[in-house]
Amino acid sequence: MGTSSEGDRPWQSYNTVYTNAKAGMDGVDKEKVQRIVYEMSKGSKYFENEKRKEAFIKLKIESLRAQVDKLTDKDVSHFQMIANKKILELEASRDLSKVWLHTDMDAFYAAVETLENPSLRGKPMAVGGLSMISTANYEARKFGVRAAMPGFIACKLCPDLIFVPTNFEKYTFYSELARKVFRRYDPDFISTSLDEAYLNITEVCINREISSDEVACELRNAIFEETGLTCSTGVAPNLMLAKVCSDINKPNGQFILPNDRKAIMTFISSLPIRKIGGIGKVTENVLRDVLGIQTCEDILQNGAFLCALFSSCSSDFFLSVGLGLGRTDTPDIKMRKSISSERTFRATSDENFLFQKLADIAETLSNDMKEKCLSGRTLTLKLKTASFEVRTRAISLQKCIHSKEDILSCASRILKAELPLSLRLIGLRMSQFSDDKNSHVDPMQKSIVAFLSGGDANSSPTLPKKQVCLEVGDKLEDHDGLDFSEGQSKQDVELDFRVADDHTGDKNDDRFSLLCDSHCSVSRSIAENFKMNDSYLDESKPNKSVEPDELTYSVERLIEEVGLIWVDDYICSVCGIELPPNFIEERREHSDYHLAEMLQKEESSRGRAHLAQERFVRKVGHNREGTRKKQKCPPNEVKHIPIEAFFTKYKKNS
Ligand code: TTP
Ligand code: MG
């Protein structure tokens, strides 16, 4: 962030996700982008929030530096021995027998829109709107325009930018076409978002006696033939490296890393740590500023310090990155946790229409359940109101049901209690199936924690969360393992990613706190802002120092209650932007963005305290005593100042 020591170019140290390069942004004038982003944000609540985050990272860095300074030579050689031992053990686990391919569509949403409207070809365009864009084509990226950037900043960077609204149905359609191709190569492929997947192509290479290079080429051609869209692929011995590789020759390219230790170590040696999934801005800054680590090779050279400063889990993770190790197996996930169906439509309060939709959904759900021989006891109704507020209401039944009539009868009762309402989406989800031996955790099921870590998910002790379960080859974003009715959001999944191999139960675990800092920093800022604006947080423990998991959990709840949840683990309930679960940093940034917007609304209604209070209660859905209130007030009662005005207003005043 800008300080006096940065003289007249404070933007040079202003790094948000907007200034972070994506594929196709190599030649971009980074300083110009930084300056524009800085100038458009300066003085805003968003900017203040960024500053708070920076301050938090600085504190973390200072404290770690102090720890380094205290280490004696004897300490260092002790930790060097520990590091050497770990490296030997990790090295012994190296598996070079698998060939993994990661594939990622190029400028996916933008490419779909261009396919359907060829007049967009060659012109800078972004999918989204003035408040937020989902992605930009490669022409727009040359100007520094990128996904997760507010559209009004993108306009400033590229005045000729064309905006196209998002159309999720289209992207799902093309994604399904691509998945049909993936299945030919690996029926158990792992899909992590609509546009990317991991395929184990080991057997294809062996059975057809062709190289991984040829498979990658063939697959890309097949995807192009089926969809008319290009993708990029990476091939490597593990999932972590395959993902890094698919980004190297983007767009419409491929990169093959051979199953050879020497080749891997050479590749890894100059690789910036930020390229590794799971290493975000906070970790990058901390490792760089405390130990001077920039590349994966630097990690190995700092093994002793990493072991001294961080927990065993964290240092294992860092060292495995330094050795270019990653998962090599497909998760063995057999059981489904829930099944759902939903429909989106133009917002309406016509009750005949809504009940007809409900009947259609109940029929689809019932048919799907019959097909899979399922019968369930918990029915959840999901509603999205005209103002994008998402509500879920769950009902637990005495017996398991699966027929359309039974489902509809229960669902109708729940829906009736919510009406009158103007709705744009209705969904039904059935869970707690009759063959669930243990209603919450089936030992056969693995959470994403286990999937990424290869460990035992059920032993992950730190977070009070449920588990998300997948079926082999099923798509991540479609799964409903979490029960919203119990006050948990699917953002837990992101935390799982971050604490992937933390099974120690040690709440002081450094890696946990380090890797969760990014969450906590947002979390804290949200919490702090709430403290400033309304003492929402539990007043019985105002000065308690909160454990990271506890803090994160309470803020997860807070975010959910102020309205931001990731519907279907994909769609922001506040603005409708789609943001896959693996875009951890973008999601964090996005939450901050809404936080800033929300604070702006708070400010704009200052002086009308009674209105603000009413709105706050309405938004949060709770009164002070914590009982849920039904939302009945019309949504636009309080004047809404658009986010772009919010940014500029503060600039003028500064
Ligand atoms: P990405 O694969 O990250 O981006 P991309 O496919 O647009 O471009 P490329 O892979 O060539 O770099 O994301 C896939 C889609 O996910 C993207 O087209 C739109 C959506 N998305 C969002 O909605 N919000 C985001 O912040 C990001 C990063 C992506
Ligand atoms: Mg992509």
Q: Specify whether the CB–CB gap between 240 and 327 falls below 8 A.
A: yes
- At residue 604, the pLDDT reads 54
Q: Is the CB of 22 under 6 A from ligand 1?
A: yes
Which listed residue (54, 113, 196, 477) is catalytic?
A: 196
Distances (CA, A) of 376 to 335, 372, 387, 427, 436: 14, 12, 31, 16, 9
Structure tokens given for 45: 């609540």
Q: Is the CB of 400 under 6 A from ligand 1?
A: no
Confidence of residue 567 (pLDDT cuts 50, 70, 90): low
- At residue 470, the pLDDT reads 25
**Residue type present at position 359:** A
- At residue 540, the pLDDT reads 27
- At residue 598, the pLDDT reads 61
Torsion angle of C-alpha atoms 316, 320, 325, 331, degrees rounded to 10? 20
- Enumerate domains of the chain plus CATH numbers: 73-93+262-330 (1.10.150.810), 100-123+160-259 (3.30.70.270), 338-433 (3.30.1490.100), 448-624 (no CATH)
What is the position in ligand 1's atom list of the atom closest to the CA of 587?
A: 26
Rounded to an integer, what is the distance from CA 466 to the centroid of its chain? Answer: 17
Residue 31 has pLDDT above 90, yes or no: no
Q: Is the CB of 251 under 6 A from ligand 1?
A: yes
Q: Specify whether the CB–CB gap between 522 and 591 falls below 8 A.
A: yes
Confidence of residue 332 (pLDDT cuts 50, 70, 90): low
Residue 547's φ and ψ, nearest 5 degrees, are -65, 145
What is the position in ligand 1's atom list of the atom closest to the CA of 196?
A: 2
Residue 645 has pLDDT above 60, yes or no: no
Confidence of residue 646 (pLDDT cuts 50, 70, 90): very low
Q: Residue 106 Cα, ligand 2 centroid: separation in angstroms?
A: 5
What does pLDDT average to over the chain?
72
- At residue 551, the pLDDT reads 30
Number of CB atoms found within 10 A of residue 644's CB: 17
Q: From 172, 195, 244, 275, give the residue whose CB has the most ligand 1 atoms within 8 Å, as the site to mutate.
A: 195
- What is the mean predicted confidence (pLDDT) over 385-394? 80
Residue 417 has pLDDT above 80, yes or no: yes
- What is the mean predicted confidence (pLDDT) over 424-435? 86
Q: Which of 94-98, 231-235, 365-369, 526-530 has the lowest average pLDDT?
A: 526-530
What is the position in ligand 1's atom list of the atom closest to the CA of 110?
A: 18
Instruction: Give pTM, 2 decimals.
Output: 0.59
Question: Residue 329 carries which DSSP code?
Answer: S
Across 16-50, b (16+ Cβ under 10 Å) vs e yields: bbbbbebbbbeebebeebbbbbbbbbbbbbbbbbb
Confidence of residue 25 (pLDDT cuts 50, 70, 90): confident
Q: How far apart are CA 215 and CA 183, in angstroms?
A: 13
Q: Is the CB of 54 under 6 A from ligand 1?
A: no
- At residue 445, the pLDDT reads 30
Q: How far apart are CA 90 and CA 317, in angstroms?
A: 10
- At residue 117, the pLDDT reads 97
Q: From 104, 135, 168, give the residue whose CB has the most ligand 1 atoms within 8 Å, as the site to mutate.
A: 135
Helix axes 510-533, 281-291, angle to 10 degrees: 120
Q: Specify whether the CB–CB gap between 382 and 427 falls below 8 A.
A: yes
Distances (CA, A) of 437 to 331, 394, 441, 521: 21, 21, 9, 39
- The reply to whether 578 belongs to the active site is no
Q: Which residue has the higher pLDDT, 494 or 590?
A: 590
Residue 59 has pLDDT above 60, yes or no: yes
Distances (CA, A) of 312 to 308, 316, 507: 9, 6, 13
- At residue 399, the pLDDT reads 87
Q: How far apart are CA 192 and CA 201, in angstroms?
A: 17
- At residue 435, the pLDDT reads 66
* Residue 622, strand partner residues: 628
- What is the mean predicted confidence (pLDDT) over 112-134? 93
Structure tokens given for 82: 């520990």
- What is the mean predicted confidence (pLDDT) over 63-90? 96
Residue 124 has pLDDT above 50, yes or no: yes
Q: Residue 196 Cα, ligand 2 centroid: separation in angstroms?
A: 7
Q: State the alpha helices, DSSP H only, in 534-579.
A: 548-562
pLDDT tens by residue, 149-167: 888 889 999 999 999 998 8
Of 38-42, 51-55, 188-192, the range with the highest mean pLDDT is: 188-192
Q: Is the CB of 60 under 6 A from ligand 1?
A: no
Least Cα distance to 410 among 419, 400, 420 occurs for: 400
Residue 432 has pLDDT above 90, yes or no: no
Q: What percent of the chain is modeled with pLDDT above 90? A: 43
Helix axes 510-533, 312-322, angle to 10 degrees: 110
Q: Which of 175-189, 401-415, 579-593 has the lowest average pLDDT?
A: 579-593
